[in-house]
Amino acid sequence: MVIEVSLRILGDSLSPDDVTEALNIEPTRSHFKGDETLSSKGKKRVMKSGYWELDAREKHDSMQLIDHLNYLLKIIKACNQDIKSLAGCQSVEFSIILGTANDNTIEFALDSEILKQIVEIGVDLHFTII
C-alpha cells in the first residue's frame, strides 16, 4: 500500500524562507515564484507561484493515514501562528495519496477529532486514490 501525505503551502508572493522560519522545519521541496527548474524530462520550467512542501514520509514511516496527519498537525500547532496568515499565503492543504500495488480495496477512516483539528486550522484536504 502507498501512503503519501504532505503539507503544502502556496502563494504568488509566498516566501518559502518565511514558512520555514515560522514552522521551524526544513521543507522537502520549496521554490519562489519565478524560480527556474528542470522537469523530469529535462525541460526548463518557470514556477508560477511560491511553494513550500513537507512530506510526512521523511519523518514518519507508519502505514496509517491518521499517524501522518497527526505528525503534520503537531508541526502546525507548534508554530503558534495561523499559517494561513503568513505573508503571501493563498492556500494551505494536505495532499493525501493512497494506493495499492494490486486490485485490493483501499480503506481509511478519519475520526471526528482529527477532522475537527483540520477544520480549526483551515487546511484543505486533497485526495488522490491510485
Q: Let me know: does 69 contact 94? Beta carbons within 8 Å.
A: yes
> In the predicted model, what is the mean pLDDT of residues 33-57?
92
pLDDT at res. 63: 83
pLDDT confidence bin for 103, thresholds 50/70/90: low
Residue 1 has pLDDT above 80, yes or no: no
Sequence ranges of the domains in the chain: 2-129
Average pLDDT over residues 49-77: 89
Supply the pLDDT for residue 101: 73
Summarize pLDDT for 11-25 with one digit per residue, the tens. 999 999 999 999 899
CA angle 73, 76, 78 (to 5 degrees): 105
* CA pair distance 87, 13, nearest whole angstrom: 8
Q: How confident is the model at residue 104 (pLDDT cuts 50, 70, 90)?
A: confident
Helix (H) or strand (E) holding 114: helix 112-121
Q: What are the residues facing 5 on neighbouring strands?
A: 96
> What band does 2 get if pLDDT is binned at 50, 70 and 90?
confident
SS3 for 36-53, per residue? EEECCCCCEEECCCEEEE
Residue 130: pLDDT band (50, 70, 90) is confident
Residue 60 clears pLDDT 80, i.e. is over it:
no
CB 8 within 8 A of CB 93: yes
Those residues with Cβ within 8 angstroms of residue 21's Cβ, 6 or more apart along the chain or in another chain: none
2 against 94, higher pLDDT = 94
Q: Which residues does residue 96 pair with via DSSP β-bridges, in sequence order?
A: 5, 127
